Amino acid sequence: MKTSLLNEIPSTIEWKDNTIIILDQTLLPLETKYIHINTIEAMWDAIKRLAIRGAGALSVGAAYGIYFGIERFEGSKEDFFVEFDKKVEYIRSCRPTAVKLFKVCDRMTKVAYTNSDKSVGKIKEILLDEAHKILDTCLEKSKKVGEYGLELMKNNMTILTHCNAGSYAGVRYGSALAPIYLAREKGWNIRLFADETRPLLQGARLTTHEMMRIEVDVTLICDNMAGHIMKKEKIDAIFVGCDRMVANGDFANKIGTYGLAVMAKHHNIPFYTFINSESIDFETETGEGIPIEERPAEEVTEGFGTRTAPNGVKVCNPAFDVTPNNLLTGIVTEKGIIYPPFKEELAKKCLMIGDE
């Protein structure tokens, strides 16, 4: 694939002509539609109805949303701050459990008040700059994770992945799929097996779609086929994302990741997780300390509009599982690839006081 072709594919979230352009994820995989947003109300709505999702993209969207909220304000500085606070509260209300969203709201608030001695026009400029910075940092870290991941790759290799840890969960590159974008930019051919990832099918709906866009030779499988594929096909590596990592390298990721890691070990296949080091929780010692969210039974029994199990059946539907560090080959971060002993190496490379 030509680099130019890859560049022609818009990012999941992009700033262009004073507008944010986002890929509407609610229509995937059957329709690829971009929405142009330049009001706070439209951004609130896009975040609320999950047209934009994933911690990275969501925080970028929120920052621009706050800017749109005050962009056209005319009036005194005092009135400006009243208005600004209202807009921040409004954005904060759209996903009450998204921690990253609150962090961005706090960051934008801090920037505005720190510059309260400047003119309203200047504060607006500074807020727009801050949103750009959030986008750039997100993009840069995602690319950096990809660059380190690329060190693990070669032309014509075969990778297996789970869920969606790609562009659609981040900004341009995502995490576990980030090196595949860079490999395609180099013109390498990559073969990918994508687990469909029950119950919500992020692999079937999103991973296949974004990988087909960049002409990766992607094959969709059901989750229970992964073992058979590891035995029958030459799988060079398994790349997965990471929802939460603790101090010793144990990590939570989409349900099914742990089983894959066990099977990878049995087949001697290298197993890597990809993470922005900001998301590492050094306060928690081991994976035992990670609470597992239990989700509604209907996701399993009425997956796609059809009831497929008896009424009243008992269901277990954990959103995540925990993979212990001894099943991991390495952890790919924007600060480099971490190898065992994970606890010591993570602390050395990723736990930096005052690091942003």
Question: Under a CB-based contact definition with an 8 Å cutoff, are residues 192 and 160 in contact?
Answer: yes
286 binds a second copy per the rule CB under 8 A? no
42 binds a second copy per the rule CB under 8 A? no
Count of C-beta atoms within a 10 Å radius of residue 273? 28
* Binding-site member from 95, 141, 144, 198 for a second copy (CB under 8 A): 198
* Binding-site member from 82, 222, 351, 352 for a second copy (CB under 8 A): 222
Question: Under a CB-based contact definition with an 8 Å cutoff, are residues 210 and 203 in contact?
Answer: no
Question: Under a CB-based contact definition with an 8 Å cutoff, are residues 185 and 6 in contact?
Answer: yes
Please tell me what DSSP assigns to residue 198: T
Strands 237-240 and 271-274: parallel
Interacting stretch for a second copy, rule CB under 8 A, among 83-91, 151-159, 258-266, 328-336? Answer: 258-266
* Binding-site member from 130, 243, 250, 321 for a second copy (CB under 8 A): 321
Token couple for 28: 């995937």
* Binding-site member from 231, 288, 296, 326 for a second copy (CB under 8 A): 231
User: Which of 52, 322, 317 lies closest to 198 in space, CA to CA?
Assistant: 317
Q: Which is nearer to a second copy, 126 or 225 (CB)?
A: 225
* Binding-site member from 10, 227, 270, 340 for a second copy (CB under 8 A): 227
Strand order in the sheet with 13-16: 13-16, 19-23, 34-37
- The residues carrying an active-site annotation are 243
Token couple for 191: 């073969």
| H-assigned helices in 248-301 | 257-266, 298-301
Smallest distance from the beta carbon of 239 to a second copy, in angstroms?
Answer: 17
325 binds a second copy per the rule CB under 8 A? no
Residues paired with 239 in a beta bridge? 161, 272
Interacting stretch for a second copy, rule CB under 8 A, among 17-25, 177-185, 214-222, 242-250? Answer: 214-222
Count of residues binding a second copy (CB under 8 A)? 57
Residues paired with 322 in a beta bridge? 252
Interacting stretch for a second copy, rule CB under 8 A, among 93-101, 175-183, 222-230, 278-286? Answer: 222-230
Q: Which is nearer to a second copy, 87 or 162 (CB)?
A: 162
- Exposed/middle/buried for 241, CB within 10 Å: 0-12, 13-18, 19+? buried
User: Which of 187, 165, 183 lies closest to 174 in space, CA to CA?
Assistant: 165
Token couple for 4: 């130019």
Interacting stretch for a second copy, rule CB under 8 A, among 104-112, 140-148, 149-157, 199-207? Answer: 199-207
86 binds a second copy per the rule CB under 8 A? no
Please tell me what DSSP assigns to residue 72: T
Smallest distance from the beta carbon of 31 to a second copy, in angstroms?
Answer: 10
Tell me if residue 10 falls in helix, strand or coil: coil
* Binding-site member from 225, 284, 286, 343 for a second copy (CB under 8 A): 225
87 binds a second copy per the rule CB under 8 A? no
Residues paired with 336 in a beta bridge? 333
315 binds a second copy per the rule CB under 8 A? yes
196 binds a second copy per the rule CB under 8 A? yes
234 binds a second copy per the rule CB under 8 A? no
Peptide bond before residue 291 is cis, with ω within 30 degrees of 0: no
256 binds a second copy per the rule CB under 8 A? yes
Question: Under a CB-based contact definition with an 8 Å cutoff, are residues 39 and 68 in contact?
Answer: yes
* Binding-site member from 96, 291, 305, 354 for a second copy (CB under 8 A): 305
Q: Which is nearer to a second copy, 120 or 260 (CB)?
A: 260
Residues paired with 160 in a beta bridge? 193, 238
What is the contact surface with a second copy in residues (CB under 8 A)? Answer: 29-30, 162, 193, 195-199, 201, 204-205, 208-209, 212, 217-229, 231, 255-256, 258-260, 262-263, 265-266, 300-301, 303-318, 321
